[in-house]
Structure 1
Amino acid sequence: MNFLLETLQMLVLSIYYNLEVFVRLFIPARKKSVSGEVVLITGAGSGIGRLMALEFASLGASLVLWDIGVEGNAETARLATEKGATTVHTYLCDCSNKADVYRVADQVKREVGDVSILINNAGIVTGKKFIEAPDSLIEKTMEVNTMAHFWTYKAFLPAMMANNHGHLVSIASSAGMIGVNGLADYCASKFAAIGFAESVALEMLSLGKDGIKTTIVCPFFINTGMFEGCGSKWPRLIPTLEPVYVAKKIINAIRTDQVYLILPRSLYVVLGLKNLLPVKLAVLLGVYLGAFNFMDAFKGRVKKTQ
């Protein structure tokens, strides 16, 4: 195909795809059924992981719950059963350990079968300035927030490719799209997670595996305790998100094959301006929104005393 024909094709398809987006503003995309799908959620023992499990339970999915905590995972399984889940499997897994991920993945494949919806949700944050963060915590952040995605994909993606059916979900962060003062290692891990997910999605398309979908979730701070004490300068513009709301939006994004989910909606504007404004003006906008001080009052999730 010559240059003129390919250019014409690109222009025609550009118009079509823009019209498609416009129509979707008025006619919501049809939601696919997840009944009978095998859904694996890492970090399922609390927070968004637990809430997603409960949403999937009410939709008839089979659940595979991974967490580093036995009690929290068991509680999620109990609640999911109450929600109507017919099949729930729980596994103790340290997602920062490659060998553990592969070992538990093999166990899942033997005991449950092929995973068709993989949700990499497990995540940690140090909450320290880069220069103050111990090397061990930086490494742990990268292992859980980024490298675990590599190992779970390696374990479960081949079956999805063989069936040309599946959904890969990365619970990333808005901090994976724009740097945040005081979150150097966390931002690095989430930037990497997003780049990895995007790259694998393109690999699947290039291989003709169009039945494998990808959803990348980039929320602002969620009121789960992980970022306790943090928030924006102007909550009406960029509010701290409620967990139930976020979980429902994620499930909706998965069921409508939405590639990117950024929450709240105001962040679409902020992230767009990042690439359009002069650097000094972008920094000024960051100061106005309080981005330089998001982490000043960070407390993090408080551990329960025995």
Structure 2
Amino acid sequence: MNSQLYYKVLLAVSGYGGRCCSYVRERENMNLLLDCLWLIVVITYSYVEALVKLFIPLKRKSVCGEIVLITGAGHGLGRHTAFEFAKRQSVLVLWDINKYGLEETAEKCRDLGAKVYIFVVDCSCREEIYTTADKVKKEVGDVSILVNNAGVVATSDLLSTQDKQIEKIFEVNILAHHWTTKAFLPAMMKNNHGHIATVASAGGHVTVPFLVSYCSSKFAAVGFHKSLTQELAALGKNGIKTSCLCPVFINTGFIKHPRTKIIPILEPDKVAKKFIDGILCDQKMIFLPTFVKLSLLLERILPDRALEAMNKMTHVKFDAVIQSEEKDK
């Protein structure tokens, strides 16, 4: 092939390749436009659907006969959540480090007509979680609803918080969620049926001074819930639902004398009713009170000075240890 013919062929091929690239770019741009239009349709539909749901009661699923495991069930929110499931005739598997508290919860649940199994478990210990999970599978069966509720807190400034306290907070408040979920999720995936509920906190979205480690662990718990939700969807396991509870201060005694100018202090029995209602409706994020959603929006759009003014107006206070001295903050 002479040089002139070679260059003619090369130019022809290059021109064809350029036209192909241009065509591909046009197709990609068209697909992006169609995706944007479809997104607008979905957003509009979602708003209309949400508006309709305000006036039409949502259908609630039955949990009768479901094996429900609740960590931290010996007191507070865990205990009252157990009561709500007991009223609905679920089979209860209750975990807590406090045997006496577990027995009290179990007795009341049995009075409500539920079948109850109790296991004394330290949720800060991974091996203890896995060992007890194996016992549950053998003695009770496959857990279909997992409520990761156990939690601990240290009310102090960061410098006054002991290293062991920080480690314990993360072991119980977030690492335990990984271990319990890894233990019970395989059976849920096999059946494409189940529900994993995470008890986080409003402190997993907005921060409070003198709760640095606690808020950090709850941010992680919210991230765990969101990531797990997306992963289950990516795997096509749409039969496994997830919920995340994010309340403000609950009157459980964990945090001593909590008070604010605006935000109410919640009672555990009322929170448990809202919690199980959210689970039965497959609600992904459950904020209590609901106006917490507004504070999340304001935090993202308000300038720093305005946020500081809003925090002063809220005026969150509780008993805390500051520089190794107990003070009211």
1:274 corresponds to = 299
Amino acid at match of 2:267: E
1:91 corresponds to = 119
The separation in 2 between residues aligned to 1:160 and 1:231, in whole angstroms, is 41
TM-score (norm 1): 0.93
1:302 corresponds to = none
Say whether 1:15 aligns with 2:40: no
The separation in 2 between residues aligned to 1:193 and 1:88, in whole angstroms, is 27
> Is residue 46–residue 72 contact of structure 1 (8 Å, CA) maintained in 2?
yes
- Equivalent in 255, 266, 269 of residue 280 of structure 2: 255
Identity of aligned residues (%): 47
> Is residue 171–residue 218 contact of structure 1 (8 Å, CA) maintained in 2?
yes
The separation in 2 between residues aligned to 1:149 and 1:225, in whole angstroms, is 23
Q: CA deviation at 1:264?
A: 1.2
> Is residue 229–residue 298 contact of structure 1 (8 Å, CA) maintained in 2?
no
Amino acid at match of 1:112: V
Q: Which has the larger radius of gyration?
A: 2
Question: Which 4+ stretches in 1 moved above 3 angstroms?
Answer: none
- Equivalent in 181, 185, 195 of residue 213 of structure 2: 185
- Equivalent in 220, 223, 229 of residue 195 of structure 1: 223
Amino acid at match of 1:250: F
Aligned runs of 1:75-224 on 2, under 5 Å? 75-85=104-114, 87-224=115-252
1:52 corresponds to = 81
> Is residue 43–residue 123 contact of structure 1 (8 Å, CA) maintained in 2?
yes
TM-score (norm 2): 0.87
Q: CA deviation at 1:217?
A: 0.4
Aligned length: 292
- More helix as a share of residues: 2
> Is residue 210–residue 320 contact of structure 2 (8 Å, CA) maintained in 1?
no
> Is residue 49–residue 121 contact of structure 1 (8 Å, CA) maintained in 2?
yes
Superposed CA RMSD in Å reads 1.2
The separation in 2 between residues aligned to 1:216 and 1:167, in whole angstroms, is 11
The separation in 2 between residues aligned to 1:270 and 1:15, in whole angstroms, is 24
> Is residue 230–residue 298 contact of structure 1 (8 Å, CA) maintained in 2?
no
**Uncovered stretches (5+) of structure 1, i.e. residues with no partner:** 300-306
**Uncovered stretches (5+) of structure 2, i.e. residues with no partner:** 1-27, 322-329
